[in-house]
């Protein structure tokens, strides 16, 4: 499926059938996790597959997920970040999203699950051989069929004219500005990227030959970096469709735009 369609259609699935993914497919997924770790290559994070999701679910019920609403998946992949560097968290999230694309292509559905408020003691008890820190899981499996009378959940998205700045005075790019740069489609679909609590904290500064990624100030550093990694992944994948084949350069500085403080997380040459 084209990345554009994929992004528009992708939705978090929070109710799964209580059917396991077959053993061969789980083994293939495990191989793919190793492939992703090798592709990234730094060893700064690892993915841990929990084939039996029940034990994890029972342990995290009431404490994992938004306000303790744990998502019950038949299986989970934990994102274990081995150190607290920004790039480890950003890249971990980037590759988690790449994993989601693969799982989706295999007919599987997913939901990110935040477990950052679970105590260290509980984490050590629940996660096998914990060496780094786990603040995010991915629940995956086959979605429960929807009740046709139930309203389809809908997560709002920012308008195309709301999140791309042309300069630090706060002037926003219009559709025509984006069209002139050939970036209208890219930003149109990028808005569908998931984010923690659907906060959509990303903003972009469109410079002459590069795009700068800014994140709204947040009291949760890790959450902002994870959301940054997710959007960086989709930017790269959507960029490929319009001939941009460059990688993000991760940086860490601050920028005030129209009196509001942002953190610069990365830039990408167009």
Ligand X SMILES: Cc1cc2nc3c(=O)[nH]c(=O)nc-3n(C[C@H](O)[C@H](O)[C@H](O)COP(=O)(O)O)c2cc1C
Q: Which residues bind ligand X (CB under 6 A)?
A: 11-12, 14, 65-66, 71, 111-114, 136, 155, 194-198, 226, 230
Q: How far is the CB of 71 from ligand X (least distance, A)?
A: 6
Rounded Cα distance between 244 and 39, Å, is 20
Nearer of residues 44 and 222 to ligand X, judged by Cβ: 222
* Dmax (CA) of the chain: 55
Nearer of residues 15 and 37 to ligand X, judged by Cβ: 15
Indicate the Cα dihedral angle 174, 180, 186, 190, nearest 10°. Answer: -10
From the list 113, 214, 201, the residue with the least C-alpha distance to 157 is 201
Is the distance from CB of 205 to CB of 214 less than 8 angstroms?
Answer: yes
Q: How far is the CB of 199 from ligand X (least distance, A)?
A: 8
Q: How far is the CB of 266 from ligand X (least distance, A)?
A: 17
Rounded Cα distance between 256 and 264, Å, is 10
Q: How far is the CB of 137 from ligand X (least distance, A)?
A: 8
7 phi and psi angles, rounded to 5 deg: -65, -40
Q: How far is the CB of 229 from ligand X (least distance, A)?
A: 9
Q: How far is the CB of 55 from ligand X (least distance, A)?
A: 19
Rounded Cα distance between 191 and 266, Å, is 18
Nearer of residues 11 and 172 to ligand X, judged by Cβ: 11
Nearer of residues 9 and 31 to ligand X, judged by Cβ: 9
Q: How far is the CB of 114 from ligand X (least distance, A)?
A: 4
Instruction: Tokens for 40, please give them.
Output: 């990234």
CB nearest ligand X: which residue? 194
Nearer of residues 76 and 173 to ligand X, judged by Cβ: 76
Nearer of residues 136 and 163 to ligand X, judged by Cβ: 136
Nearer of residues 153 and 182 to ligand X, judged by Cβ: 153
Give the strand order in the sheet containing 133-141. Answer: 45-50, 75-81, 133-141, 109-114
């Amino acid at each position: 499926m084209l990345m554009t369609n994929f992004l528009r259609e992708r939705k978090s699935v929070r109710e799964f059938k209580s059917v396991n993914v077959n053993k061969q497919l789980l083994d293939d997924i495990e191989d793919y996790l190793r492939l992703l770790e090798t592709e990234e290559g730094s060893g700064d994070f690892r993915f841990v597959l929990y084939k039996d999701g029940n034990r994890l679910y029972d342990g995290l019920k009431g404490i994992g997920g938004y306000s303790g609403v744990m998502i019950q998946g038949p299986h989970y992949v934990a994102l274990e970040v081995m150190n607290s560097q920004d790039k480890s968290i950003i890249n971990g999230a980037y590759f988690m999203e790449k994993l989601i694309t693969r799982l989706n292509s295999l007919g599987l559905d997913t939901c990110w699950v935040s477990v950052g408020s679970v105590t260290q003691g509980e984490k050590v008890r629940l996660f096998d051989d914990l060496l780094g820190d786990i603040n995010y899981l991915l629940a995956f499996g086959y979605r429960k069929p929807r009740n046709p009378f139930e309203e389809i959940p809908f997560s709002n998205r920012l308008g195309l004219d709301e999140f791309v700045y042309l300069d630090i005075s706060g002037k926003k790019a219009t559709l025509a500005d984006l069209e002139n740069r050939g970036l209208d489609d890219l930003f149109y679909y990028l808005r569908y990227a998931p984010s923690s609590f659907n906060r959509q904290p990303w903003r972009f500064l469109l410079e002459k030959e590069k795009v700068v990624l800014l994140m709204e100030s947040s009291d949760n550093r890790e959450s902002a970096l994870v959301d940054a990694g997710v959007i960086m992944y989709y930017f790269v994948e959507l960029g490929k469709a319009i001939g941009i084949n460059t990688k993000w350069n991760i940086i860490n500085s601050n920028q005030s735009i129209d009196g509001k403080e942002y953190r610069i997380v990365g830039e990408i040459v167009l």
